[in-house]
A and B are shown apart, each in its own frame.
Chain A
């Protein structure tokens, strides 16, 4: 965990450990519920991401924090203070907008100084803070340019600087890297991460890019249809998804629908609809009341064998449909005898790739798969 907020905020520190708290927040637009009872707490100095497919309500959630939307029900708190009646211009949060929303009639310098001038800070202080933040985002030489004269990455930096110069309690980032090309995005991810570490500021980022969320965040909230599916560290989200949606949305996975056949202290036996029997290690989250279940196995956890392996659990016979060589690994599609198609990711230690159509054996450890309660959603 990162250190607590040590940055020089203009705000008095309050008692709450959390910089942002959402309590059963709902937002309804013209009869359409965009956000349904979202609840989470963001710790001081945390890099928190809200991840989900488009239309899941993640941006609305961020806008509720920024104050551009008011909750239909529930409450948003920043630093322990209710924000219900606080308009955006008085909230201790600043936003980096999706398309940067730079003021194109002002120079970079004036864009950044905007917030400070509104606060009527002294001339020298404005100068000093703007210069400081320009240096922070390495844009010193562009101070007198207009936004239209900058590249996408440069505009991104200006947008960051414009928000950071105000030393907010919370920095809100709405798909900050969405408009950049892949290479630039990777580069900016590193810079964002460094910035976060150096400033110790609370970052709340909205993204649909799971890789971005996994690599940058301390914790991630996965949203779907206006609800939070799971909040957890990247590792938890990936390794121990709570719902089939999270398992499927984060990374690749193979899902088997089935029902619980038997259980003992440490493992569960699941029979899939096609008749396979899968042994799954029991996790603390497992509820014995669950009957209908979905088993998730990550492609990289599956082992391929040319001959029947010695392990007894979770060994299945199939045939290679298709193999794709991808340098660091081989991506295989295997059709089981029972009919399921599985994707398997195999490190490229095989000297020769098996030919398409050749028989194969698959196996995985019970601790490498996870059984999730099947929900109607």
Chain B
């Protein structure tokens, strides 16, 4: 059987000009549709970002100073060892949180989307995202109550005769708090991705001799890859910007990029230029990771 691909349609090229809408009307539709959001984005995203970029080029700028871009000193400051370590630390925390959320979220999302009875799904999801309805600050304080030396966790541990844990004011507490905060997002996104999973593919895999674990790694995970990527990215970016959890749970070594940026604007020594440079670096790093992900993260996604 010879199946020839359909020839590229060239009808649009051959369409006589007379049938084309006039220039004005052709652009009117998109303009009306995109205009409001576009204006919104321009005013509240593009313009401020450009302002931040310009600020980042002024060394030692403080409120009241003239904005007069004059060099990249602020960027050199970003990469001095102290600040660079803060960035690396924040990236580490974000990556750790992302992995934790993925590890904890995937089984849950898989269970809700694939194994749980259909009529329970919405309720289960609702139950899972219920914590999002409370303030994030409240949730963080709840963790303090649980993790503090004489808190809920240690009371339980000592009641059942186990040694108590010193978690609060250490990095593990930050990871616990952040992954708890962002887990619902991960679960929601993974769920929507796994829900679309064609069960026939799993059966096909079993039919071809794959054991359930093999099917999971070779079929389920690749099929859910766009969801995994989207969820991870969302969690990564949000946790990179989080400073409530590190601040309240991280103890004496809680400095993160977000907090560092905050300090440059609202701290005791204001340095808007350096803060802006840090922001630009952060924006750049995040954009780059998104771009890389889009390009290489899921090559098969482009086939869909």
In the complex they form, whether A and B have CB atoms below 8 Å apart is answered with yes
Could you list which residues of chain A lie within 8 angstroms of chain B, going by C-beta atoms? Answer: 66-68, 87-90, 93-95, 97-99, 101-106, 114-115, 118-119, 138, 146, 148-149, 151, 153-154, 162-163, 166, 187, 191
Q: Are A103 and B201 closer than 8 Å at their CB atoms?
A: yes
Q: Are B208 and A151 closer than 8 Å at their CB atoms?
A: no
Q: Are B210 and A118 closer than 8 Å at their CB atoms?
A: yes
Q: Are A166 and B204 closer than 8 Å at their CB atoms?
A: no
Is B166 part of the binding interface, using a Cβ–Cβ cutoff of 8 Å? no
Q: Are B222 and A101 closer than 8 Å at their CB atoms?
A: no
Q: In whole angstroms, how far apart are the Cα atoms of A375 and B291 in the complex? A: 69
7 A-B pairs (CB sep. < 8 Å) = A88-B203, A94-B208, A103-B205, A115-B209, A118-B214, A151-B3, A162-B208
Q: Are B303 and A148 closer than 8 Å at their CB atoms?
A: yes
Contact of A101 among B203, B211, B218, B303 (CB under 8 A): B203
Q: In whole angstroms, how far apart are the Cα atoms of A104 and B300 in the complex? A: 8
Q: Give, as a whole number of angstroms, the nearest-CB distance from B148 to chain A.
A: 46
A105-B223, A146-B300, A153-B1 known; A68 and B211 CB under 8 Å? Answer: no
Contact residues in B for A115 (Cβ distance below 8 Å): 208-209
**Interface 0/1 of B34-72, CB less than 8 Å to A:** 000000000000000000000000000000000000000
Q: Give, as a whole number of angstroms, the nearest-CB distance from B200 to chain A.
A: 4
Q: In whole angstroms, how far apart are the Cα atoms of A47 and B300 in the complex? A: 37
Could you list which residues of chain B lie within 8 angstroms of chain A, going by C-beta atoms? Answer: 1, 3, 198, 200-201, 203-211, 214, 218-219, 222-223, 225, 300, 303-304
Q: Give, as a whole number of angstroms, the nearest-CB distance from A145 to chain B.
A: 9
Q: In whole angstroms, how far apart are the Cα atoms of A201 and B177 in the complex? A: 59
Q: Give, as a whole number of angstroms, the nearest-CB distance from A122 to chain B.
A: 16
Q: Are A89 and B207 closer than 8 Å at their CB atoms?
A: yes
Contact residues in A for B304 (Cβ distance below 8 Å): 104, 148
Q: Which of chain B's residues has its CB closest to A114's CB?
A: B208
Q: In whole angstroms, how far apart are the Cα atoms of A138 and B3 in the complex? A: 11
Q: Are B208 and A101 closer than 8 Å at their CB atoms?
A: no
What number of residue pairs across chains A and B have CB atoms under 8 A from each other? 77
Contact residues in A for B223 (Cβ distance below 8 Å): 105
Q: Are B225 and A105 closer than 8 Å at their CB atoms?
A: yes
Q: Are B303 and A166 closer than 8 Å at their CB atoms?
A: no
In addition to A119-B209, A151-B3, A162-B208, 19 A-B residue pairs with Cβ atoms within 8 Å of each other are A66-B207, A87-B206, A88-B203, A88-B206, A89-B206, A90-B209, A95-B203, A97-B200, A99-B200, A103-B204, A103-B205, A103-B219, A105-B222, A105-B223, A114-B205, A118-B208, A118-B210, A149-B303, A153-B1
Q: In whole angstroms, how far apart are the Cα atoms of A104 and B304 in the complex? A: 8
Q: Are A95 and B204 closer than 8 Å at their CB atoms?
A: yes
Q: Are B300 and A101 closer than 8 Å at their CB atoms?
A: no
Contact of B211 among A89, A93, A103, A105 (CB under 8 A): A89
Q: In whole angstroms, how far apart are the Cα atoms of A118 and B217 in the complex? A: 12
Q: Are B200 and A101 closer than 8 Å at their CB atoms?
A: yes
Contact of B204 among A87, A90, A97, A151 (CB under 8 A): A97
| Closest 9 pairs between A and B when the two form their complex, measured CB to CB | A115-B208, A101-B200, A105-B300, A101-B204, A88-B206, A146-B303, A105-B222, A118-B209, A89-B206
Q: Are B3 and A101 closer than 8 Å at their CB atoms?
A: no
Q: In whole angstroms, how far apart are the Cα atoms of A284 and B203 in the complex? A: 44
Contact residues in A for B1 (Cβ distance below 8 Å): 138, 153, 187, 191
**Which of A99, A118, A191 counts the most B-chain CB atoms under 10 A from its CB?**
A118
Q: Are A89 and B209 closer than 8 Å at their CB atoms?
A: yes
Q: Give, as a whole number of angstroms, the nearest-CB distance from A187 to chain B.
A: 6
Q: In whole angstroms, how far apart are the Cα atoms of A162 and B210 in the complex? A: 13
Q: Are B203 and A97 closer than 8 Å at their CB atoms?
A: yes
Q: Give, as a whole number of angstroms, the nearest-CB distance from B74 to chain A.
A: 44
Q: In whole angstroms, how far apart are the Cα atoms of A163 and B207 in the complex? A: 9
Q: In whole angstroms, how far apart are the Cα atoms of A146 and B1 in the complex? A: 19
Q: In whole angstroms, how far apart are the Cα atoms of A87 and B1 in the complex? A: 36
Q: Are A166 and B203 closer than 8 Å at their CB atoms?
A: no
Contact residues in B for A114 (Cβ distance below 8 Å): 205, 208, 210, 218
Q: Are B210 and A89 closer than 8 Å at their CB atoms?
A: yes
Q: Are B207 and A104 closer than 8 Å at their CB atoms?
A: no
**Which of A93, A104, A119, A149 counts the most B-chain CB atoms under 10 A from its CB?**
A104
**Which of A95, A98, A99, A105 counts the most B-chain CB atoms under 10 A from its CB?**
A105
Q: Are B3 and A154 closer than 8 Å at their CB atoms?
A: yes
A104-B300, A118-B214, A146-B300 known; A166 and B209 CB under 8 Å? Answer: yes
Q: Give, as a whole number of angstroms, the nearest-CB distance from B300 to chain A.
A: 4
Q: Which of chain A's residues has its CB closest to B299's CB?
A: A105
Q: Are A101 and B201 closer than 8 Å at their CB atoms?
A: yes
A148-B303, A151-B3, A154-B3 known; A101 and B198 CB under 8 Å? Answer: yes
Q: Which of chain A's residues has its CB closest to B298's CB?
A: A105
Q: Which of chain A's residues has its CB closest to B207's CB?
A: A95
Contact residues in A for B303 (Cβ distance below 8 Å): 104-105, 146, 148-149
Contact of B3 among A89, A98, A103, A153 (CB under 8 A): A153
Q: In whole angstroms, how far apart are the Cα atoms of A68 and B201 in the complex? A: 12
Contact residues in A for B211 (Cβ distance below 8 Å): 89
Q: In whole angstroms, how far apart are the Cα atoms of A105 and B200 in the complex? A: 14
**Which of B205, B208, B223, B303 counts the most A-chain CB atoms under 10 A from its CB?**
B208
Q: Give, as a whole number of angstroms, the nearest-CB distance from B268 to chain A.
A: 53
Q: Give, as a whole number of angstroms, the nearest-CB distance from B303 to chain A.
A: 4
**Which of A97, A98, A103, A153 counts the most B-chain CB atoms under 10 A from its CB?**
A103
Q: In whole angstroms, how far apart are the Cα atoms of A138 and B304 in the complex? A: 24
Contact residues in A for B208 (Cβ distance below 8 Å): 89, 94, 114-115, 118, 162-163, 166
Contact of A94 among B201, B207, B214, B222 (CB under 8 A): B207
Q: Which of chain B's residues has its CB closest to A174's CB?
A: B200
Q: Give, as a whole number of angstroms, the nearest-CB distance from A67 to chain B.
A: 8
Contact residues in A for B207 (Cβ distance below 8 Å): 66, 68, 88-89, 93-95, 163
**Which of B201, B205, B207 counts the most A-chain CB atoms under 10 A from its CB?**
B207
Contact residues in A for B206 (Cβ distance below 8 Å): 67-68, 87-89
Q: In whole angstroms, how far apart are the Cα atoms of A53 and B223 in the complex? A: 33
Contact residues in A for B222 (Cβ distance below 8 Å): 103, 105
